[in-house]
């Protein structure tokens, strides 16, 4: 069983600043760092670190080869990532002394994926394989519909949430993973039953930050509390959780066991700064 993650690849440009630039103001940054990012790439990295067989599909520009190399170095299969002419998606992130941030996103190549590339990637996957999607690339509805026709299991993490998500073919989703913001955007509340009415055939996982995570399916319902840790940086917690949870399910773990392991992995992630680089390896969890 293979996992195809069709998702974003971003370059995160982080600037340390005294204060976040005000309208009309020009400021100098105190330090600058460049990181691999994008929810899609982070979740592929988490899947690989958890031990899954994961193929990433998506698109970068000529400036994005290093992102592809980085994912490959983590064990992600990158044969379905296209390198086109449109620049790689990026985020300009200002971070002040209090850890407050301000982010400008440029979707770039992530929003220019054509149907030829989608069809080509999907043609390598079949019944029994899993498709994972976030909400940082274009044409999500088409990808869900086409993958369903091929018999793939659809896992959707509609992050970052925007109202367009409500128009996706949610009735085709088999596994929905949302945090409280996404749950509120989709269903008006952090309520698994309300989410289930939108995705009637789905297993639903609601992540609750420091309160852990909640599972709901037509046959089972349970909550797993988060591990008590000193949180340093919660960036990447959800992505780590998703990677470990999905890997657990593909390794035939019961949902409860997969979720307990995902909660442990996400707790370890929040004790470290960074996003992709803070995702723990499987041997640190087990």
Length of the chain: 286
83-119 b/e with 16+ CB inside 10 Å = b? ebebbbbbbebbbeeeeeeeeebebbbbebbeeebbe
In 3-state terms the chain splits into helix, strand, coil percentages (rounded to 5) of 40, 25, 35
Choose, by CB under 6 A, the member of 72, 105, 194, 231 that binds ligand ADP.
231
Out of 63, 191, 239, 257, the active site residue is 239
Choose, by CB under 6 A, the member of 213, 246, 260, 275 that binds ligand ADP.
213
Residues 169-198 interacting with ligand ADP (rule: CB under 6 A): 179
Going by DSSP bridges, is the β-strand pair 89-95/10-16 parallel, antiparallel, or unpaired? parallel
Residue 203 Cβ vs ligand ADP, minimum distance, rounded to whole Å: 15
Q: At what angle do helices 115-122 and 140-149 cross, to 10 degrees?
A: 30
If binding is defined by CB under 6 A, does position 209 make contact with ligand ADP? yes
Nearest residue (CB) to ligand ADP, 144 versus 213: 213
| Choices 95-103, 106-114, 124-132, 237-245 (CB under 6 A): range interacting with ligand ADP | 237-245
- How does DSSP classify residue 233? -
| Choices 95-103, 116-124, 165-173, 261-269 (CB under 6 A): range interacting with ligand ADP | 261-269
Containing H/E element for 136?
A: none
Q: How far apart are CA 11 and CA 151, in angstroms?
A: 33
Residue 101 Cβ vs ligand ADP, minimum distance, rounded to whole Å: 14
Containing H/E element for 226?
A: none
Known active-site residue 286 = no
Size of the site for ligand ADP (CB under 6 A): 19
Q: How far apart are CA 154 and CA 174, in angstroms?
A: 5
Choose, by CB under 6 A, the member of 226, 246, 258, 275 that binds ligand ADP.
226
Residue 40 Cβ vs ligand ADP, minimum distance, rounded to whole Å: 14
Choose, by CB under 6 A, the member of 27, 120, 234, 284 that binds ligand ADP.
234
**Would you name the residues annotated as active-site residues?**
239
Binding site for ligand ADP (CB under 6 A): 179, 207-210, 212-213, 226-227, 229, 231, 234, 237-238, 241, 263, 266-267, 270
């Amino acid at each position: 069983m293979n996992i195809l993650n069709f998702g974003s690849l971003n370059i995160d440009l982080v600037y340390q600043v005294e204060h976040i630039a005000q309208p009309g103001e020009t400021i100098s940054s105190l330090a600058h760092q460049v990181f691999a990012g994008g929810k899609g790439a982070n979740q592929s990295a988490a899947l690989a670190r958890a031990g899954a067989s994961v193929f990433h599909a998506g698109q970068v520009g000529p400036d994005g080869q290093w992102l592809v190399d980085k994912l490959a170095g983590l064990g992600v299969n990158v044969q379905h990532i296209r390198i086109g002419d449109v620049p790689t998606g990026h985020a300009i992130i200002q971070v002040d002394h209090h850890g407050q941030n301000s982010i400008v996103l440029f979707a770039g190549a992530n929003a220019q994926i054509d149907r030829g590339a989608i069809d080509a990637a999907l043609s390598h996957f079949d019944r029994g394989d899993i498709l994972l999607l976030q909400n940082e690339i274009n044409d999500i509805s088409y990808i869900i519909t086409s993958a369903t026709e091929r018999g793939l299991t659809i896992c959707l993490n509609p992050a970052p949430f925007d109202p367009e998500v409500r128009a996706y073919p949610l009735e085709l989703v088999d596994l929905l993973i949302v945090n409280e913001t996404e749950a509120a955007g989709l269903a008006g509340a952090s309520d698994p039953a309300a989410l289930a009415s939108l995705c009637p055939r789905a297993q639903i996982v609601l992540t609750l930050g420091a309160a852990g995570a909640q599972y709901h399916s037509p046959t089972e319902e349970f909550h797993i509390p988060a591990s008590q840790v000193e949180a340093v940086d919660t960036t990447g917690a959800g992505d780590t959780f998703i990677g470990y949870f999905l890997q657990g399910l593909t390794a035939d773990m019961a949902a409860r066991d997969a979720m307990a392991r995902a909660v442990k992995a996400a707790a370890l992630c929040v004790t470290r700064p960074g996003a992709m680089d803070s995702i723990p390896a499987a041997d640190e969890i087990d």
